[in-house]
Every structure is written in C-alpha cells, then in structure tokens.
Amino acid sequence: MERRVVVTGMGVVSPLGQSVPELWQGIIEARSGMGPITLFDPTGFDTRFAAEVKGFDPTQHMDRKEARRTDRFVQLAVAATNEALRTSELQITEANRDEVGVFIASGIGGIGTLSEQIEVLRSRGPSRISPFLIPAMITNLATGQVSILSGARGPSYCVTSACASSAHALGEAAETIKRGWAKAIIVGGSEASITPIGIAGFNAMRALSTRNDSPATACRPFDSERDGFVMGEGAATLILEDLEYALGRGAPILAEVASYAATSDAYHISSLSEDGEGVARAIRLALGRAGLQPSDIDYINAHATSTPAGDPVETAAIKQVFGGRDSAPPVSASKSQFGHLLGAAGAIETIVSILAMQHNTLPPTINLQTPDAACDLDYVPNAARPAELNVVISNSFGFGGHNVCVVLRRYV
C-alpha cells in the first residue's frame, strides 16, 4: 500500500507578513504587498517598485555572525523554516535526524551577494573578495544552512527550475517519502532577487510591469491592462511527513499531498507553449495519479503572473482539462497580492491553497477590473469569498518550459 504524505507545519516570510497568520490576514483583506523599491536606489530603472519583505531582521532567526556570512535568500529560508518546525512540533533529535530531509529550492540564489562582490572585485581587486562569496551565493546553501541549523541529516538537495523550483521540490519531497527514503522533509523555496541586476535583467526581457505610478495595482492577472509581473521576495517552507510517522508522534495534520506531476513544453526558453498542452498534460497526470476526476477539484491556485502572453495560455489549459468555462472550478492568482517570488512561488502558493481549504475561503485575484476576453473563467475578482474546499490544485511554471501541478486535499 502506497504511503500517504501529509503537511504538518508551514512557515512564511512574505511581502504580506512574516508568518503564516499574517500572510492569510493579508490574503483575506485583499491587500497588496507592492510598493516603491527601498532595498536599493531604483532611479533610472524602467521599474521602480516591487513586493519587498519589510522590516526583516535575520538576527531574530540566526546568530549575528552567521547572518553576516549568508545571503538574504538563505536568511529568509531559515526564518520560514523556524516557523514551520515550530508549528509542526517536529523535534529533530539524534533518534530521527537521519530520517529528516531538507529540500529548499531557489531559482536564482544569492544574486545580491554576487552583485556586491563583483563591485568589490572591480573597485578593490581580487584579494578583497569575501571568502564567503561562494557559500553565500550558490543556490543549494539555503538547503545546506537549514540542514546544519536544524540537524536534519536525511536526503538533502536543492531543486532549481526557475519559477517552478519549489513546486518541483515539494513534489519530489513527497515522492521521496512515498519511497520510504525519509520520514519527514523540510521543503520549500526562498528568493531575494530585488537587486539592481535582478530588476534590470527582467526589465531587459520586458517581463516586469512598469506601472510606476500605481504599484499596488500593477500586478493584475487576467486583466486586459496587465503589462508584466511584479518582482517579489520571500520564503515559504512546509513540513511533509509520512502519515504513519505523523500520527505516531501526534502531529497536527494540515492537509494531504495527494499527488504531483511535472511536464516540459520543449518549446521556448521563456514562454509557455501557446496551445497550453504542456500545462494541461501536467494537470491531467496529477489528477490521474491521485485517482481524481476534474469534477473533484474545488479550486485552482494559478501560476498566473500577470504577463500578456502567459495568463491566456493557463486559462486555455484549464478549459482543456475541465471541459470549458462553465465546468471549470474557481481560479485565483495570489501573485496579484504578493508578487512573483520566482523559485519560492510554488511553495508559498501551496501554503495559500492549504489555508484556503482550512478556512473554506477562496483567495481573491485583486486588481481585476477589465477582464481580458481570452481570460473568461471565475477568477474570484477582488474579494475573498466562502466556499467548501476539499481538493485543490496549485500550478507552477518556469522558464525553460517546466510545468508542475500539485494536488492537495483535506486530510480525513
């Protein structure tokens, strides 16, 4: 009999708040986490706003010396993990440490540290480069630091698949537990790319919104006036466990990971396949592996980044799977509130999906004022609303053609 995998803890550091309760409060209030960039001077940039984590103090989560040696994306991951472990009541001890893994994803890693040290190299020469440059910037060091600080010695690695990274990590963590290779895994994603080179790079691709006069309304998935995504930052971590192990220790069970599927478009370096076939295939595979029919799904947390090309493709894929507009479940885009957390997007949106089930509440898509004719589903516009939610899915897509669908259900 296949092992069941459940979620027992969650932690978040986000533009809507630095805890899971704060995140959910922002969601149900339909609040925007976007505002002018304060992490650097954006004068002269095409985009001068983002969704920042405000008032984050890494020394509340790790000692001062360690904080000085780590990139912001690592610090955010440690903070989110601390909350997840606390809420799961999972104690990592000598008795279980070899059976607890860590899969913290990142799409870009320590781009802030890398940028700073390039300036040091140019201005002061190679002898002044920090010896902590490499261990601070490489994408696997969020996983490494969380493993070191928690004492978890089970399977440990970092998934990097752009904006699908943490969704891939979550799916692979669940599969690792199902294979019996771990009893529990700390899984999630972290990103801190609101940096000059990060913003300039995405501006060069024409991927970011340039609605500088109204940051709070800039991210508008499915709206006809959308003009690009809004860069976000933050971290989200979940504790996944083998059901029998969780029950044995009396853990709080928040949801079950029913299944996951991943596909590739094999189409373009940054765009979804225009027919949505790869996305639709991922959803169908995930539903099949969970033994579910499309009619069983109560809600979809969409990848929906607010880009002109991407949102209609996801809409078309959903209609392919669910048999058209009238039979599709409600869909919403959480990025409208906290921006695009890149490699952490899948993890935080999974947490939003679980919270939606816990509270029987559909999260909103804010800023949806002028619907696009090509985007004609129920996107829960501008306000959360009650609904009975027992099975939900979360979609994540990444540059390079990566598609991931995670199916979650209420634990019974």
Shared domain check, 162 and 192: yes
In terms of domains, do 84 and 154 share one? yes
Q: What is the number of structural domains in the chain?
A: 2
Instruction: Give Cβ neighbours of residue 101 (< 8 Å, ≥ 6 apart).
Output: 152, 154, 155, 156, 173, 176, 181, 182, 184, 185, 186
Residues 237 and 283 reside in one and the same domain? no
Task: Please check whether residues 240 and 263 belong to one and the same domain.
Answer: no
Burial of 134 (0-12, 13-18, 19+ CB in 10 A): middle
Same domain, 215 and 269: no
pLDDT tens for each residue of the chain, 412 residues long: 789 999 999 999 999 999 999 999 999 999 999 999 999 999 999 999 999 999 999 999 999 999 999 999 999 999 999 999 999 999 999 999 999 999 999 999 999 999 999 999 999 999 999 999 999 999 999 999 999 999 999 999 999 999 999 999 999 999 999 999 999 999 999 999 999 999 999 999 999 999 999 999 999 999 999 999 999 999 999 999 999 999 999 999 999 999 999 999 888 886 777 888 999 999 999 999 999 999 999 999 999 999 999 999 999 999 999 998 889 999 999 999 999 999 999 999 999 999 999 999 999 999 999 999 999 999 999 999 999 999 999 999 998 889 999 999 999 8
268 annotated active-site = no
Residue for token pair 């609303």: 385
Q: Are residues 215 and 279 in the same domain?
A: no
Per DSSP bridges, beta strands 402-409 and 255-264 are antiparallel
Please, are residues 105 and 188 in contact by the beta-carbon 8 Å criterion?
Answer: yes
Q: Give me the catalytic one of 303, 375, 402, 405.
A: 303
Last residue of a domain, one of 231, 255, 279: 255
Round to whole Å and give the CA distance between 332 and 336: 9
> Which of 255, 289, 324 is the last residue before a domain boundary?
255
Q: What is the CATH number of the domain that holds 218?
A: 3.40.47.10
202 and 280 belong to one structural domain: no
Residues 249 and 346 in one domain: no
- Residues 89, 175, single domain; the answer is yes
What's the pLDDT at 270? 67
Q: 379 lies in which domain range?
A: 257-409
Q: How far is residue 234's CA from residue 15's CA, in Å, rounded to a whole number?
A: 7
Same domain, 251 and 284: no
Exposed (0-12), middle (13-18) or buried (19+): which is 83, by Cβ within 10 Å?
buried
- The two tokens of residue 186 are 């700390």
Instruction: For residue 237, give both structure tokens.
Output: 């971590």
Looking at residue 169, what DSSP letter applies? H
Q: Which amino acid is at 194?
A: I
Q: Is 359 a catalytic residue?
A: no
* CA 36 vs CA 43, 191, 218, 231, 325: distances in Å: 11, 18, 12, 11, 37
**Residue tagged active-site, from 61, 158, 163, 219:** 163
User: Burial, 144: exposed, middle or buried (Cβ in 10 Å; 0-12, 13-18, 19+)?
Assistant: middle
Could you tell me which of 200, 173, 214, 44 has the C-alpha nearest to residue 115? Answer: 200
Q: Tell which of 255, 288, 317 closes a domain.
A: 255
Q: In what order do the strands lie in the sheet with 299-301?
A: 100-105, 184-191, 234-242, 5-13, 255-264, 402-409, 391-398, 299-301, 331-332
d(CA 84, CA 106): 18
Cα 331 to Cα 294: distance, rounded to the nearest angstrom? 14
Q: Are residues 72 and 221 in the same domain?
A: yes
Asked if residue 151 lies in contact with residue 144, where contact means CB atoms within 8 angstroms, the answer is no
Residue of 61, 168, 340, 402 with catalytic role: 340
Residues 60 and 105 both lie in one domain: yes
163 carries an active-site annotation? yes
Could you give the CA distance from residue 192 to residue 227 in angstroms, rounded to a whole number?
22
* 323-345 pLDDT per residue, tens: 988 899 999 999 999 999 999 99
* Residue 341 · residue 348 · CB < 8 Å: yes
